[in-house]
Amino acid sequence: MAGPVASTGPALRAADPPATTPAAGSASPWLAVLDETIGVCEAHRRQDLAHGLRRRRAGLLAPHLRVVVVGMAKQGKSQLVNALVNAPVCAVGDDVSPSAATVVQHAETPSAVLVARPAAAGAPPARVPVPVDQVAREVGARAGLLRAEVGIPRALLASGLSFVDTPPLGDPTTERGGAVHAALADADAVVLVSDATGELTGAELDLLRQVAASCPAVLVALTKIDLVTGWRQVLERNRARLAGAGLAVPQLPVSAALRLRAADAGDRALNGESGFPELLDHLRRSVVARRDQLARWTVAVATTAALEPVVARVRAEVALPSRTGVAASRLEEAQRQLEELRRRSGRCHQVLADEMADLTADIDHDLRERTRGVLREVDRVLDEADPLAVWEILEDWLGRNLSEVAEASSTWLVERCEWIAEKVALGFPAADARAPAPLTALGLPADEVSAVDMPKIERFTAAQKAFIGLKGSYGGVLMFGLVTSLAGLPMINPLSLGAGAAFAGKSVRDESRNRLQRRQTVAKAAVQRHVDDFFLRFGKECRDAARHVHRVLRDHLTALTEELQERIVEGVRRTKEAANAEAVERDRRNQELQRLLALDRRARALAVATRATPLEITA
């Protein structure tokens, strides 16, 4: 193999002027689309997509275009790169299988650096300078490399190209496969190397199909044509296979060995036979001269791929069922609840008023019935007993019975008020429409009863009995004395005296009975007055307690009604706010979707504009 030379070979024509690189602040349409897409990915928290686009942006703004050379093992891939730059910078040989890519780019003076994996997470990669003539051996021998960077002065490289020699294709999950796919992700153009000993395999066609979907400049280099006499038949079969796979990928037959011999001998004819003049001319016309079109295509593919999941997510959010109908139904339900609350609250207040009116009437009736029972028992006792003899017992009994009446009436009143509260609560449209507090603590009357005042009752004394007896005996003596005087007996005789004694006894007995009846009447009247006083006083206290309960229950119902109304109104307000916020958010999502779709159309328009000016990729 020849050593490094200063030119790309005698058969190469003068290089086209290097393509200009758009500055980061230029007004290139593809750059604006790319930057806007990066902003969209960041705004939608897709940092993975934004990171990939930033890497693509840095590659597109780099001063050189990356031509990635890929291929299976032992296809002449590394030798092809060496022949392109006319320098042994890539490791070749049957026993060499590098695990890292070699990047060959322009430099004024030859240099080489091995970029090794960092020793610790987060640390920068280690960069180890090596001599240029040893870089191929180091790449083939060392492990743990990320890549090798080689800089040499070549007109081809100075025109804006750099070549990336990747490890042989294999399992993408391995270190070598990962290096190949990482290089393809940043490729501006891809050259698939396949030797002339056999036609394209299914794996190579799959790779071409995958690469052509994201890279606009793809070609197949059919190598080792100097070793295979029937390479033209292989070329035709490959062309047929490509057409059958729907791939418009050009093929160029080349021989790296002839290219290197021609460079050593300065033989232009041999260089022409190597096929490299056509390959280099193709790279200039289809890659270097079309840099802006390649960038348009690359940006179109990268941005549409990045926008696809973002647009799908926003479209899914926009397609979510609208809550407007739910909000409207909730508003209707709230209005119905308010009307139902007013109706049932009015009914509960009416029920409460009616029940309390009935309670007031029933208080009088109940208390009257209980006191009448006491009075009937008092009348029965006084009809048979002398108040003078039984008054103390009667007074104690009356006090105890009236206390029992007060206690029974109080208990009945409490139970009746609790029953009314429960009845009203059952008709109220709320689960917590309970009594505000224990009704026994709402000012109901106590059961204390005052003592009955003993009436003034005259006693029938002995003197009064004697006087009444004399008064009654006078008539008996006089009547029977006159009768017996007709018989010749004196006025005062045993018969008249006996009659006077009988009349005296009867008068005393009659007066005693009359006085007993008057004492009983006076006692009954006293008891009646006492019971009436108890009825009036205790009845008023019961009615006052009932009115107090009425007010408490009424105020409690009013407070519950106002609380429920406030709760319903607050729910309506929140529903309206949620509906308004959802409408605003839906409008924002629609606007965002339209913006993303417009950006997607702009990105796709870049690809359409690129197709309108074909890349002139021909075999």
pLDDT digits 0-9 by tens, 459-489: 656 776 677 666 666 666 677 777 777 777 7
Task: Record the pTM.
Answer: 0.59
- Separation CA 257–CA 276 (nearest Å): 11
- 29-312 is a CATH 3.40.50.300 domain: yes
**Amino acid symbol at 587:** D
Pairing outcome for strands 145-152 and 101-106: parallel
Q: What are phi and psi of 322, to 5 degrees?
A: -75, 145
pLDDT for the residue numbered 294: 83
The ranges of the chain annotated as CATH 3.40.50.300 are: 29-312
Angle at 359 between CA 358 and CA 362, to 5 degrees: 85
Q: Sign of torsion, CA 152 155 156 162? A: positive
- Separation CA 35–CA 50 (nearest Å): 10
Segment (H or E) for 55: helix 47-61
- Separation CA 220–CA 282 (nearest Å): 12
Can you list the positions of beta strands (E) in 63-125? 65-71, 101-106, 111-116
Chain centroid offset of residue 474 CA:
117
Number of Cβ within a 10 Å radius of residue 182: 15
Query: For the CA atoms of 463, 466, 470, 471, what is the dihedral angle to 10 degrees?
Result: 60
* pLDDT less than 50: residues of the chain: 1-21, 23-26, 438, 440-447, 612-619
The partner residues of 423 in beta bridges, in order of sequence, read none
